[in-house]
Amino acid sequence: MNVFLINYELSYPKQNYFDFLSFIEKYNCVEVTRNSFAIETEETAEEVFAKGKEKLLENDSLYVFSITPRAYGYGPKKVNAWLKDRGF
């Protein structure tokens, strides 16, 4: 399985982003910070990006980063446990 960090910025906070947020939540995921999620999937980063990008508006931003087992961090117990369960 691949683990990716999805980082996004929504330009129009009052806009309805239900489809975009639902797209993220379809994955096995954990919210890392307000605008980022770690996800687990068999898909590639390019595939995840393409699916997410089609649900955003022109001025929004989206990045999909691959996370390797050499990643380090500290934060909420829920996030730490989710990453630890995946070998991080």
For residue 71, give the nearest of 7, 4, 12 by alpha carbon: 4
Q: Measure Cα distances from 80 to 1, 20, 35, 54, 60 in Å.
A: 18, 24, 17, 30, 28
Per-residue pLDDT of the chain (88 residues), as tens digits, is 999 999 999 998 767 889 999 999 999 999 999 999 999 999 999 999 999 999 999 999 999 999 977 777 888 899 989 888 888 8
pTM of the model: 0.84
- Residue 83: the pLDDT is 86
Q: Could you give the domains of the chain?
A: 2-84 (3.30.70.240)
